Amino acid sequence: MTGTGLSLERRIQIGFGVAVAIIAGVGAAALRSTQATVDSARWVAHTLQVRAELEGAFADLIEAETGVRGYVITGDTSYLAPYHMARTTLRSGLAGLRALTADNPAQQRRLDSLETLVATRLDRLQRTIDTRRTAGLAAAARAVIGGGGKELTQLAHELFTRMEDDEARLLAERSATLQARARLARLAAWTGVLVASVLAGLAGVLVGREMAARRRAEQALRETQTRFQQMLGSSTAVIYANTVSGTTFSPSWVSENVTRITGYRSDEPLQPP
């Protein structure tokens, strides 16, 4: 036991428990920060995917128009391959956008209008193809000029742009959040390392001090025992010599010699110094 009433083992146990609790708290904070960083990164990736789908859908619409224009001018049906492919990819692309923006009511409303515009534009393109096939180049050219296709494409482009602008805003916000959470996660990790290092150093110092105190106490005890044995030996010789000569010893003489030999009064309990 030490002066505080706690043994070395008990102090180590308490210190270890406190260290574990602190490190566990720091670890939990780091884990939460890391999870928040992962969530933010997922949202950034989600926004980038929406933007890619928007760009792909608008590119498909332009491809469809280009293919139909080539067919109208040349009459070569091979020019319609991009148109037919675009019709398929536009449907799947818009469906993907619908799913990706399910958490964004504003984007869902824009997508409602965009789907209507795209469907109308594809229907006009199909009628232009039919006109070219049945009525020839001149009739198809008139259908292209007076069909309002350019205006529909412009409206669709404006909707695509507004949706992309909204996603760009979300990307900026989510990227900033990601960076902030990444910094917090790094701070939590470094804090954990620092706390663990400080606790380890403190534990080493405390244990070292305790062990040094024990060594000093043990050394003092050994010195006391040695001194006691030496003095006891000399006192025994004196007592023996006086006994042989017939000398008697008073209680006060015994008490004084006990005090001189042990360092304690005769009425004190014998303890190591």
- pLDDT at position 25, please? 75
Tokens encoding 202:
């403190």
- pLDDT at position 217, please? 79
The mean pLDDT value for 251-263 works out to 58
* CA separation for the pair 4, 20 (Å, rounded): 23
Q: Which tens digits make up the pLDDT trace of 81-106?
A: 999 999 999 999 999 999 999 989 99
Higher pLDDT, 228 or 44: 44
Q: Which tens digits make up the pLDDT trace of 26-63?
A: 777 777 777 777 777 888 888 888 989 999 999 999 99
Burial of residue 82, with CB atoms counted within 10 A of its CB: 0-12 exposed, 13-18 middle, 19 or more buried: buried
The mean pLDDT value for 252-271 works out to 57
Q: Which residues contact 202 (CB under 8 A, 6 or more apart)?
A: 15
**Which band of pLDDT confidence, cut at 50, 70 and 90, is reported for residue 246?**
low
Which domains are present in the chain?
Answer: 8-207 (1.20.120)
The mean pLDDT value for 61-76 works out to 91
- pLDDT at position 273, please? 47
Q: Which residues contact 207 (CB under 8 A, 6 or more apart)?
A: 8, 12
pTM above 0.85, yes or no: no
Neighbouring CB atoms inside 10 A of 118's CB total: 25
- pLDDT at position 214, please? 75
One DSSP character per residue, 80-144 reads GHHHHHHHHHHHHHHHHHHHHTTT-HHHHHHHHHHHHHHHHHHHHHHHHHHHHHHH-HHHHHHHH
Higher pLDDT, 118 or 22: 118
Q: Which tens digits make up the pLDDT trace of 191-226?
A: 777 777 777 777 777 767 777 877 887 888 877 777
Work out the percent of the chain whose per-residue pLDDT is above 70.
76
The SS3 call for residue 193 is helix
Max avg pLDDT among 116-120, 179-183, 197-201: 116-120
Alpha helices by DSSP H, the chain: 8-74, 81-100, 105-135, 137-146, 149-245, 251-262
Q: Which residues contact 82 (CB under 8 A, 6 or more apart)?
A: 63, 64, 66, 67
- pLDDT at position 2, please? 47
